[in-house]
Structures are given as C-alpha cells and as structure tokens.
C-alpha cells in the first residue's frame, strides 16, 4: 500500500508491505513515519476538528485523541446534535463521545 505520511511537513511517500505477521514500512525518513504507516494499515485513526453550535453562534471543537477513521462521520453527527451554553476554551463539550473514550474539547471562545 502506498501512503503519504502526515506526521510532519515533509510528507514522505511510504510503501507498506506485509511480511509474515508484521508490516514493513519503507520510504520514511523518521520513526514517526514508520509508526504512521503501520497504524494506517492496521487501524487508521483521525483527529476530528469541527464546530459546535452555541446559543449565540458557533465555537470550534476537537477530539482529545484520534478516533477510528470509520467513526469520524458518527462523531461529527453527534457534535451536530448539541448546543452549548456559554462555552469557554478548554471546556469538555462532550465526555466520552460515542463510548470511544475520547472527549470533545472547546478550542475557541473566552
């Protein structure tokens, strides 16, 4: 599998191949690329950054940790259901969203 590493601005072109019970990553210039390549093949995850409604507009929010890639839209949909009252930067908007052991944190506001 060919991938572009997103762990730093270099954007190494990775090739991930299965060898026995493991995966071998080539094309990376650092260990972060190797970790990313293996993770992306075995169980891809993504940070979610979006906006949440407030009583007066919107605030930006993000997940406290990456979520499984196949659950990103579910997380966005769940965030879309809430309306926050007086959110402040750093507030937990949703604790343990969808049982994923990840919180949604307010990243803008007062």
pLDDT in tens, 28-71: 999 999 999 999 999 999 999 999 999 999 999 999 999 999 99
Residues of the chain within CATH 3.10.530.10 domain(s) are 49-106
Does domain 49-106 bear CATH number 3.10.530.10? yes
Helix ranges (DSSP H) in the chain: 31-42, 72-79
Residue pair 35/18 in contact (Cβ under 8 Å)? The answer is no
* Predicted TM-score of the model (pTM): 0.83
What is the number of H-type helices and E-type strands within the chain? Answer: 2, 10
DSSP 80: T
């Amino acid at each position: 599998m060919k991938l572009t590493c997103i762990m730093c601005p270099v954007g190494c072109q990775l090739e991930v191949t299965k060898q026995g019970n493991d995966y071998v990553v080539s094309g990376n210039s650092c260990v972060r690329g190797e970790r990313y390549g293996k993770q992306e093949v075995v169980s891809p995850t993504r940070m979610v950054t979006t906006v949440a409604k407030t009583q007066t507009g919107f605030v930006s929010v993000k997940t406290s940790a990456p979520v499984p890639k196949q659950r990103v839209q579910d997380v966005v949909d769940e965030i879309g259901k809430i309306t926050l009252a007086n959110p402040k930067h750093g507030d937990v908007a949703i604790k343990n969203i969808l049982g994923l052991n990840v919180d949604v944190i307010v990243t803008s506001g007062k």
